Amino acid sequence: MADLLINLDALKRNYLKLAGMAPGALCAAAVKADAYGIGADRAGPALWRAGCRDFFVAHLEEAVALRPHLPKARIYVLHGPAEGESAAYLAHDLIPVLNSLPQIDIWTATGGNHPAVIHVDTGMNRLGLGTDEVAELIDNPDRAPFPVALIMSHLACGDEPGHEMNALQQARFSVLGEALRDSRKEAIPLSLANSAGVLLGANYHFDMLRPGIGLYGGNPLTEGDNPLEPVISLQARVLQTREVRPPAAVGYGAVYRVSGPTQLATLDVGYADGFLRAFGEGRWVPEIGGHKAPIVGRISMDMTIIDVSAAPPELVAPGMAVPLIDGVDGIDRAALATGLSAYELLTLLGHRYKRSYVETNG
């Protein structure tokens, strides 16, 4: 079984580093999609120990599963309530993010005493109240009689620092946020910045940060060095080694043929583990003891074959671990090589891995 090593100390340091970039703001954590694949049941409590008190997930089911691990945290559900779900929100003390007037009406029907977040769209056109809906809420603040814990929006192009959408969304959010505050005569906290938004600077910070990918070691920006630490590394076990000679073919479809005497190692990881075929055909080249060991042939469901001709034999014996994703920028380099994003790579991490967590002060 392949090993996924997860450094919770690095996760906490990344949280503290991002939080330190905006000392006047609260710093929440996005732990949706099982904390980007690393395990919300372990990441959430580790982040709590680092000082985080606000956690965002996408689905109600994620929030319900997370609550026993974070009994005192504020847990927000980004997709908001559907009809018939309000009772579960109340039973588990969850805070919905309301993305439309119909969702506001659903939450109002709970009695108007339970807090919620209002999400306004500022240009992404994915979720959030549109311009007309915001105007309706400004003109009729009693339409949302419950306590508003937060007003939020989301950046569409924050990972591209020079993109014109960033300044446009920041300006729209400033105007809409202040208008909603004024209509309710409350200094409601505002939140715009994801991980990339944190790095864009103080104009984007407002009152709460909501980092995600940066916590888990991915570079929030498409350019420049990654200021954050890697959190995961992936190792696979050698199942078998063999020497082959031309015209031997390797893997499904016989699409790869060796050009000379070649030492192969078969590893116990495949696309069912999230190690997709996008890693193959020369796109991703693991290293063993500083020696390149390219992936050859098609990656299969449970196995991957590498060329270990350049590696010392004592490092690739059956049962030994081979690093697949490692190093300071492993996730970012893997994303670049495969054409996938760091978000995709992390959230595709399978549950068949043996997961090992490192935390010195857990």
For residue 31, give Cα distances in angstroms to 10, 28, 41, 138, 224: 15, 10, 10, 31, 25
Structure token digits, residue 41: 């049941």
Nearest of 33, 29, 37 to residue 79 by alpha carbon:
33
256 is catalytic: no
Under DSSP, is residue 126 helix (H, G, I), strand (E, B) or coil? coil
Structure token digits, residue 202: 């103080």
Nearest of 298, 310, 311, 186 to residue 249 by alpha carbon:
298
Cα–Cα distance measured from residue 362 to residue 360, given in angstroms and rounded to the nearest whole number: 6
17 is catalytic: no
Active-site entry in 12, 15, 17, 32: 32
Nearest of 335, 288, 296, 332 to residue 312 by alpha carbon:
288
For residue 347, give Cα distances in angstroms to 221, 226, 261, 317: 18, 19, 38, 30
Cβ atoms within 10 A of the Cβ of 105, count? 12
CA angle 179, 99, 199 (to 5 degrees): 70
Active-site entry in 15, 36, 204, 252: 252
Structure token digits, residue 115: 């807090």
Cβ atoms within 10 A of the Cβ of 111, count? 11
CA angle 167, 168, 174 (to 5 degrees): 85
Cα–Cα distance measured from residue 250 to residue 231, given in angstroms and rounded to the nearest whole number: 33
Structure token digits, residue 186: 């409350």
CA angle 224, 225, 230 (to 5 degrees): 140
How deeply is 302 buried, as exposed, middle or buried, from its count of CB atoms within 10 A (0-12, 13-18, 19+)?
middle
* Residue 126 annotated in ligand binding: yes
Per the annotation, where are the binding residues for substrate?
A: 126, 301
Where in the sequence numbering do the catalytic residues fall? 32, 252
